[in-house]
Amino acid sequence: MFALFLNETLSRQKLGAMCAFFDSLKDTQAVCQVHLHLYIDPTGMSPIFGSLLESILGSGCTELHASSHSASGGLIHIPRMTQLFPSTLTSLNISSPMFFFPHSIRFTLSVLQSAPLAILWLNNTGLSPLQWAVLLGKVNLPSLVELEVDQTCLYDALATCLIVHRAISKLTISHCGFPTMSVEDITPRSVLHSLRKLAGPATRILPLLKVITLPSDFQCLYITFHPYHPERNQNVFSDILLCVEYLPCLSHLEISMPMITSTDELAAFVTFPITDKRVIPVRDLTFRGIHPILSTPDVFDAIGHCGPWLRAFPNVCVLRIASGRPLPLDRYKAIFCPFTQQNVEITIIPHQY
């Protein structure tokens, strides 16, 4: 693995030296993974940055991860045509708008149109909904099996991309960006036969389910919440029920808890709609708490307050719990078993991102 931290003091000479280094590795695959951490003012970015990306591509790198904290600055432009470069990239994880700026967009479009990518994550892109639609219309990745986009991405454009790329088996909608408007009254499209896993906020997944049709053997739904800003003034569990109505044969549901620091937020989040008689037919259920690093004493463990939720899971056989501050197993049994209709195997599992 090769990690680069690029900051404001990086001169053209240093960028040129990095280009020369990767050029010397051309087609050797000596560096399989490259991680770029960008601390650069996008308005002052050198054209050599684009050359550096092309040099990394030419080195035979197979995994590229890049992140920055810069705003888009209105510099994003997606050209109609671009030159294609040979690439061995199989995994691309971008969390930065800088890959859509004039000096780097050639690299990005080339990868999205010609690389043998199996995994593609695009977050914090700075793209508008219309720009997302234009970008996804240019993607040509027949080997793609895992896709992650931020929530600014238009549902209609995303659905079209999924239909074209039929090998995608896992789709994630992240919390990055600004949510697009919901889509109503759109006839479902073709069945996405390969999609087996879908992850994201319930409020973002639900509109997508209205424009795609999932296969009858769809396996896993992962419901997430923004880790720092829990959904307020809404019935969280009702949103989950609405999503599951589109998945009558769902086998596994995972619900990730947000960071909650007040009793009012906790009460609003865990409220169960007791008059709602809908059920979720999953047999395998996972509750995932916040990461142990974030699990400080002032943060509530929402999992321990979700016992009544089990009323909606009459068929559940296995309940897995991944908590940053796990309680003893006997304590979890006391919390959940009174609300189950059959013997449920409760297991504490390691927390993983």
Q: How many helices (H) and strands (E) does the chain have?
A: 9, 13
Quick one: average pLDDT of 55-84? Answer: 77
pTM over 0.85: yes
Nearest C-alpha neighbor of 61 from the set 36, 97, 38, 83: 36
Q: Is the pLDDT of residue 81 over 80?
A: no
Question: Domain extents for the chain?
Answer: 219-353
Residue 328 is predicted with a pLDDT of 94
Nearest C-alpha neighbor of 243 from the set 189, 207, 195, 272: 207
Asked if 118 and 144 touch (Cβ cutoff 8 Å), the reply is: yes
Q: Is the pLDDT of residue 298 over 90?
A: no
HSE-up of 124 (CA within 13 Å, CB side)? 13
Q: Is the pLDDT of residue 253 over 80?
A: yes
Residue 274 is predicted with a pLDDT of 81
Element at 93 (helix H, strand E): strand 91-95
Give CA–CA dist 68/66, Å, rounded. 7
β-bridge mates for residue 322, sequence order: 288
Residue 71: pLDDT band (50, 70, 90) is low
- Left (φ > 0), alpha (ψ -120 to 50) or beta: where does 167 sit? alpha
Could you report the per-residue pLDDT of 194-214, keeping only the tens digit for each? 999 999 998 889 888 888 888
